[in-house]
Amino acid sequence: MNNRHVLMGASLLLTLFVWQSMLGTMALAVGFIIMLAIHEAGHWLAAKQLGLPVSAPIFTPLGAMIIMPTLPKSAKEEAYIGIAGPVLGTVGAVAGFVLGVLLGVKDLVYVSQMAFMLNLFNLIPLAPLDGGRISMVISRHLWVLGAPLLAWVVWSSGFSPMTVLVSVLIGWQAFQDIAMRKQMAQFNPQYFQPTFAVRASYTAVYVGLAAFLAWAFFVPAQFAGLLINIFG
């Protein structure tokens, strides 16, 4: 075991304890980390499918990530890797919600609702969020929608310290990414020129996934207790 594996393990343990303190129980923290792992597995599998070298998921108290030393060859590849996380994460959240209702496990239902929110938040079109990666195949200027969306999330959270911290970090990285993309568009314009069919298909999947996650987070959550009483 090398130092890198030790650091990854230590970061995972720290993440567990931080989320335990935030959520109240280790069971909820473990469930949340599993949902994060499913999400990151989507990115990992997509990168592997494209033949790109990629690290194992790295967990931190602020979330999780994979590291790719080699950049995708096009916005289409970048969007494919970007959207794979929310897609698989949504599948995991739906499975968790259904199992939680059928088995009467309220913690599993709660963790699944958190996963719906996590995957929806990640679709905001701002790098380093997945939405920022997906938007490259639609329009690299979608950040003009992402910025007010992020501001709304901060406002709707009541300016919670964690949300403010995460949003500041996202905003700073997004600012750097916007400048980098502008340079990329000058030196490699083909990167941002997918076919109409590709752009249309990713737009449809992106909007459809966001709509489903918004519905899944806000609607079934209102009836979770009733569903458990009926089916659990």
| Number of independent structural domains in the chain | 1
The pLDDT, as a whole number, for residue 1 is 55
Band of pLDDT at residue 220, cut at 50, 70 and 90: confident
Backbone angles phi, psi at 62, to 5 degrees: -95, 0
Cβ atoms 191, 75 nearer than 8 A: yes
Quick one: residue 61, left, alpha or beta (phi over 0 = left, psi -120 to 50 = alpha)?
alpha
pLDDT tens-digit series, residues 61-115: 888 889 988 889 999 999 999 999 999 999 999 999 999 988 888 899 999 999 9
Backbone angles phi, psi at 77, to 5 degrees: -65, -40
The pLDDT, as a whole number, for residue 104 is 86
Percentage of residues in the chain having pLDDT higher than 90:
70
The pLDDT, as a whole number, for residue 138 is 97
What is the CB-side half-sphere exposure of residue 118 using CA atoms within 13 A? 28
- Statement: residue 125 has pLDDT above 90: yes
Q: What is the mean pLDDT of residues 7-15?
A: 84
The pLDDT, as a whole number, for residue 70 is 85
Which residues on adjacent β-strands are paired with residue 13?
A: none
- Statement: residue 135 has pLDDT above 90: yes
More confidently predicted of 122 and 159: 122
Provide the 3-class DSSP secondary structure of residue 58.
strand
- Statement: residue 6 has pLDDT above 60: yes
- Could you check whether the bond before residue 128 is cis, i.e. omega within 30 degrees of 0? yes
Q: What is the mean pLDDT of residues 40-59?
A: 94
Band of pLDDT at residue 226, cut at 50, 70 and 90: low
Per-residue b/e over 146-178, b at no fewer than 16 CB within 10 Å? bbeebeebbeeeeeeeebeebbeebbeebeebb
Cβ atoms 11, 60 nearer than 8 A: yes
Measured CA to CA, the distance from residue 228 to residue 153 in angstroms comes to 29
- Domain of residue 76 covers 3-231
The pLDDT, as a whole number, for residue 221 is 66
